[in-house]
Amino acid sequence: MQQSEIQSVKQRFGIIGTSELLNRAIDIAVQVAPTDLSVLITGESGVGKENFPQIIHYYSHRKHGPYIAVNCGAIPEGTIDSELFGHEKGSFTGATADRKGYFEVADGGTIFLDEVGELPLSTQVRLLRVLEAGEFIKVGSSKTQKTNVRVVAASNLNMIQATREGRFREDLFYRLNTVPIAIPALRDRKEDIVLLFRKFASDFAEKYRMPAIKLTEDAKLMLSNYYWNGNVRQLKNITEQISVIEQQREITAQILRTYLPKDDIERLPALFTKTGNDQKTFNSEREILYQVLFDMKKDMNDLKKLVHDIMSNQQPDIQPSESHFPSSILSHKDTFITSATNGNDFKSDKASRETAKFIGDDDYDESYQDAEVYNDSETQKPLTLEDMERQMIKKTLEKHRGKRKSAADELQISERTLYRKIKEYGIE
C-alpha cells in the first residue's frame, strides 16, 4: 500500500502519527477489509483500537450496511446474551416484549466486539456458533435464525494467556484471530508523541478559546521518554489538564513533571540494587542469572577458605561475602557444599560433622557423612542456567508458601513472567 493511500486513511479517520508500526497496522486493516475474514485487534488500553474496525467497515463491501460497536465489558453477565442475540417475550423476568439482538440488527453489516476477552464462557459458545455457521438462537426461543455479519473483535488482554488459564475458549480465539492486527503502544512510537501533543493542544485551544500551549525542547525530551502506561488516552488527558490549568503557554520540563504520575515510569527488571556508585540494574533475565552465578562462585570460594581455616585450627580471617540474592534460594538444607581443597584437610567424618554444625546447619543430616569429597583434580557437574533459575523460583515459592505475588516481588520480576516460568519448568 502506497504512503499516499495510508496518509489518506489517516486523514479520513483522524489518526496522527508516522510510526512504521502504525502504518503497518493500517495497511493490514485496509488489505483485509474487502474480505469477510474475522479480525482480532490487540493492544494496550488507550492505543486507539476503536479506529480500526471503522477502517475495515468503510473499505469493505458492507460499508452501506449497519455498523454496531459493542463494549462487552460494560454489559452485565446476566444480560449479555439478550443484548447480543435478543430474547423472546416472557423468557425471563422483565422480558415484556420480543427484542432484537445486535447480531440480528447488524445483519448485512459489521459488528465490533470491544473487550471480547470479558465475555462469559456461555456467551463465547454462542458467538462461536455465529462465526462458524452464521446462526444463533434468541434467549427463550428454540428457533434458529440466520445472520450475515462481519465480526471484528478487540481486546487489551493477553489472549493466549487467557486461553491457557481457561478464561477464553481456545477454538473461539483461533476463529476470531484469523487476521490479527497489533496496535503499537505509545512508548513504541516515540516519534509520534510530540505530534499528538501538538494536535491535542491545538484542539483544546480551539475548544476553550485560548492560545495553544507549546513545549520547550527539554519538555519534548521528557514527554518522549515517558512510559505512557495509559497511551494516547493518557497523553490527551494530560494535554487537556495543562491547557486549562496553566497560565503560562510555554511548558517547560519542570512544569510538565508536575502533571506526570511519578509511579508511571518504565521499570526494568532488577534483581538487586545498591546505593551510591555501585547501583546496578539488569536488562534481561540472562544477565540476572549470570550475576547470580558470579556471586555464587565468590561465596563458594569464601566458604571453602573458611572451612579450610577451621579444619586447620586457624582463626578464620575472612567473612563470607553478603549474598545478593534471596536467602531462600540457597538454603543450606538443600545444597551440600563440598570443598575443592585436598581431601587430607578433612581430618575425619566427625570433624566434617562439627564443621557443618559450626556454619549453622542445626539440622545436619548424618547421611551426608558418606558424601564424596572431591580433590582438586576432580570436577563437579555444573548447574545449567535453567537449573539455577528453576531452583531460584522453586525455593522462593516455598518460602512464600506458594504466593506468586510475594515470590515475584522478591525475585523482582512480574507475576506474568513468574507464571510463565512456572509453566515452562513444570513447578508444582
Q: What is the pLDDT of residue 287?
A: 60
Which pLDDT tens digit goes with each residue over 222-275? Answer: 999 999 999 999 999 999 999 999 999 999 999 999 999 876 544 434 434 444
pLDDT, position 293: 73
Segment 33-61 mean pLDDT: 96
Give the chain's mean pLDDT.
81
Residue 279 or residue 415, greater confidence: 415
- Domain 3-184 in CATH 3.40.50.300? The answer is yes
pLDDT at residue 389 in the model: 81
Q: What is the pLDDT of residue 108?
A: 96
Element (H, E) at 312: none
Neighbours of 326 (CB within 10 A): 18
Mean pLDDT of 407-411: 82
Q: In this structure, what are the phi and psi dihedrals at residue 18, rounded to the nearest 5 degrees?
A: -120, 5
- Tell me the three-class secondary structure of 275-310, residue by residue: CHHHCCCCCCHHHHHHHHHHHHHHHHHHHHHHHHHH
Q: Which of 68, 62, 15 is nearest to 37 (CA)?
A: 62
Q: Are 47 and 186 in contact (CB under 8 A)?
A: yes
* Alpha carbon distance 160, 182 (integer Å): 14
Dihedral angle, C-alpha 396, 401, 403, 406, nearest 10 °: -50
User: What is the model's pTM?
Assistant: 0.62
Query: Which DSSP symbol is given to 271?
Result: S
Q: How confident is the model at residue 338 (pLDDT cuts 50, 70, 90)?
A: very low
In degrees and rounded to multiples of 5, residue 69 shows phi and psi of: -105, 125
DSSP states along 194-243: HHHHHHHHHHHHHHHTSPPPEE-HHHHHHHHHS--TTHHHHHHHHHHHHH
pLDDT digits (tens, 9 = 90+) for 178-202: 999 999 999 999 999 999 999 999 9
Q: Does 3-184 match 190-257 in CATH topology?
A: no
Instruction: Report the pLDDT averaged over residues 351-363.
Output: 44
Binned at pLDDT 50, 70 and 90, residue 381 comes out as: low
pLDDT of residue 313: 59
**CA dist., res. 72 & res. 70, Å (int):** 6
What residue ranges do the domains of the chain occupy? 3-184, 190-257, 285-425
Determine the topology of domain 190-257 in CATH: Helicase, Ruva Protein; domain 3 (1.10.8)
